[in-house]
Structure 1
Amino acid sequence: MDFASVRMITDDLDRLVVFYEKITGVLAKRPAPVFAEFVLPSCTLAIGHSQTVQLFGAGSARAADNRSVIIEFRVRDVDAEYARLKPLVADWVQEPTTMPWGNRSALFRDPDGNLVNLFAPVTEEALERFSRH
């Protein structure tokens, strides 16, 4: 089994696509008007309009209803990304902080309320852990 992507469901596809284009610096691929993908070197982030949920069966997902998943992006320099994104992000949850497990991290919410973590391993142990990836 191969992990393929994470897909978010939204009622405002264009708004979320523009937001993640600014955050990632990657232009989304739009194979259909109700679907977009950010194909990054390490993963794919997909965004589907709430209209697509009907294709999977009624009630299978709800737009902007996530409080249990954190979307994480590994970056080179958390503090530099924080400075770059500060004017673009309305809801910062945590300014850059070094976590007990050795990652420097900054957290914010996207326009739909999804929690996003920018992180970089900074301690020797964390750097060793991520050198295997």
Structure 2
Amino acid sequence: MNIVSIRIITADVKNLTTFYEQITGISAIQYTPDFAEVKMQSATLAIGSTNTLQFFGGGEVAASAQNRSAIIEFRVKDVDEDYQRLAKFIQPYLVQKPTIMPWGNKSLLFRDTDGNLVNFFTPVTPEAIKKFDGV
């Protein structure tokens, strides 16, 4: 079994899609005004409008801009390089500048425009590198 995608429900698909295009450098596929996908090598970040909730049982199934328990994580080649590239753009959303975590990843934390926590990380210790690369 594999995770194929994570879907964020939002009241503003266009704004959130633009945000993720900016931070990933990947153009989204906008299927409808209510649904877009940012496709990456290992998974897809789907962005769905609150209007799409009707297909899953109604508007009570999920709520936009309410997440306080999940972190959307991206493994990046060089977190310091990405921080330099995005520093001005993510400044209003910054939670933590690049910091080495106890488990060996260098991590940059910020929020997206809906308040969801985003982590860009690079494994930096031999143990963390081995965990992700199997080396």
The TM-score range, normalised by the shorter chain, is over 0.9
% of aligned pairs identical?
A: 54
Alignment of 1:23-42 (within 5 A): 23-42=23-42
> 5+ residue gaps in structure 2?
none
Q: Give the equivalent residue in structure 2 for 1:118.
A: 120
What residue number does 2:69 align with? 68
Distance across 1 between alignment mates of 2:96 and 2:6: 23
Corresponding residue SS for 1:85: helix
Paired with 2:54 and 2:45, the residues of 1 have a C-alpha distance of 20
Which residue of 1 is the match for residue 78 of structure 2? 77
Secondary structure of the structure 2 residue equivalent to 1:88: helix
Q: What's the C-alpha RMSD, in Å, of the aligned pairs? A: 1.2
Match of 1:101 in 2: 103
Aligned partners of 1:15, 1:33: CA distance in 2, in Å?
Answer: 11
Instruction: Give the CA deviation at 1:94.
Output: 0.5
More helix by share: 2
1:28 Cα offset (Å): 0.4
- The Cα of 1:120 is off from its aligned counterpart by 0.4
Residue 92 of structure 1 deviates from its aligned partner by 0.6
TM-score when scaled to structure 1?
A: 0.96
* Aligned mates of 1:102, 1:122 — CA distance in 2: 6
Aligned to 2:16: 16
Cα distance, 1:104 vs. partner? 0.3
Q: Is the Cα contact below 8 Å between 2:4 and 2:42 reproduced in 1?
A: no
Cα deviation for residue 124 of structure 1 reads 0.4
Cα shift at 1:80: 1.1
Letter in 2 for 1:6: I
Report deviation, 1:20.
Answer: 0.6
Question: Cα distance, 1:69 vs. partner?
Answer: 0.4
Shift of 1:54: 1.4
- Ranges of 4+ aligned residues in structure 1 off by more than 4 Å: none
- The code of the aligned residue for 1:84 comes to R
1:2 deviation in Å?
2.9
CA distance, structure 2, for counterparts of residue 55 and residue 88 of structure 1: 34
3-state SS in 1 of match to 2:61: coil
Aligned pair count reads 133
